[in-house]
Structure 1
Amino acid sequence: MGAIRAFFLPGSVLPAAPAYTDLIKALGPDIDAFAKDLDLYAADEPPPDWSLDTEVDGVLREADAKQWDTFHLVGYSGGGAAALAFAAKHPERLLSLTLLEPAWAGDWDWSKAHSRLWKRFEELESLPPKQFMEAFTRLSVRPDVVLPPPPAGDPPSWMAKRPAGIRAFLRDFEKYNLDREQLSAFAKPVLYVLGGLSNPDQYGDIADRLSKVSRTTEWRCLRIVTTSILRTGSSPNGSLLF
C-alpha cells in the first residue's frame, strides 16, 4: 500500500509554502502531500479570464503530472471554494474533501444575514488596496473580535498582488455556476472546519447550507471554539491566512 496522497490549496492571501509547510512536515512520511499555489497569482495581474475553473484545471494538471488518479483534497478559504468546484466537476478523482472555511459555496439558500454580509463585500470594490485589505479582514471575523495591528516592517513582495486577486475571487463568485446537484451526489467523506472567531454569517452559514446539500453519510463539521482559522501572526511575517 502506497503513501496517502493529499493535495492542498491555499487561500487568496498566504502562498502555499508558508501556509502548509509546517503542516506537511508534521504529517510525516506516510503522507505524500503537495501544496500548490493558486494559478491566480502566476503573473503580476490576475488573468482576465480567470475563474474557479482555472484553479480546477490547475489541480488536474498537477495531479496528472504526479500520476495521481485519486487523492484527498484540502482547500482553505478561496482555495476551499476552488476545492468545492473541483468536487462538483471531478468527483471521481477525490478520496475525500476537506474544506477549511471556504470563502464561498454557491448562490442558493442564502440567509438574510449572509446576503447582507455579501452586500458589504461588494461595497469594498472601490476602496484603495490598503483600505480594501483592512475592511476585508474586518468582515471576515466576528464583529466583537479585536484585530491586532499589522506587523511592523514592509510587507512581503507577494502581498502587492493580493487586493486584485481577492477582487477577482469576489467577482467570480457573482457569476460562477457551482453545480448543486453534482455536489449533492458527492459521496466521499467531507470535513468542514471553521473557527470560533470567524464571522458566523459567512462561514457558519456556508457550513449549514452545505450540510443540507450533501448526501454523504460521512459529513463532519469541526468548530474550533477558541480561535479562528483566519489569524494574524500565524506565519513568520505575520501575514493573514485567507
Structure 2
Amino acid sequence: MDLKGLITKNQCECLGGTDDYPLEHVFTDGGNSLKSDFDDQLILSVNFNQSIKIHAIKLKAPEKFGPKTLKLFINQIATMSFEQAESCPAVQDMIVDPKDLAGNLINLRPVKFAVVNSIQIFIINNQSGSGSTQLDYIGFIGSPLPAGNNSISTDVDIEGIKQHKQKIINLLKSDRPPKINDMEEYFWTGYSPKTLGELYDKRHELLSIIHDSNLFAQKIAEIVQQHHLDAATENKKAT
C-alpha cells in the first residue's frame, strides 16, 4: 500500500532545497517539484506517525536532473548533516536507473526496512552530474506494523555489529558515556545517543563477553531492539 497517509508532514525536513520548492510538494503525485539550491545534493528526512515496513519507493523526476546516487538511512534521532551522511554507512546504497524516474517501483532490502519510524534519503548527485536536482514525487510502498509488533529484531544488522566490534569496544571502554557533541565519532552505528547511552550503561556485561563475537553481537542487538521497540511505543503514544 501507499504510505503517504502515514507521513507526519510537519516533522519532515529537507536540507539543500530552495525555499520556493519545499519538501511537502513531492508527497503529492502531480504537485509541484522539489529542487536543490546550491548544488545537486539534497537530504530528505521523512517521519511517519507509526512504525511501518517499507518494501519499495517510487520516484518521479526529469531523466536529466532526477536523483541518481542515493544513501538511505532509517530511524535517526535528528536530520543528518551532509558531512554525517557522506561519512556514515547507509542502510542501503542505491543507483537509480533513469527509466525508474517515471515512477517505477524501486525495491528495497526488506530486512533492512522491516521496522521504520523515519527514513532519511541523501541524494548525492543527479543523472547529469551537474546543475540542480529536481524531484517531482516520492512515494513509499509498504505496510503499517500492528501494535505490539515484535518483528523489530530484523532491523538489527548482526554482521554490521561484528564488523564494527572494535569501535563498539572503544566506546564501552571510554571513561564517560557518549555526548551529543561527540556523536559524529560514533555515527557509524546508525544509533541515537540514547541507544549508545544504554549500551554504555551495560558496558561491564558486554565487555565480559567480547571473546565471543557471536554472543557479543547478539547481546548488543537485543539492547538495540528493545530501544527501538520502546521508541516506537513512545512515538505511537505521542500521536
- Larger Rg over CA atoms: 2
More helix by share: 1
TM-score with structure 1 length normalisation?
A: 0.26
More strand by share: 2
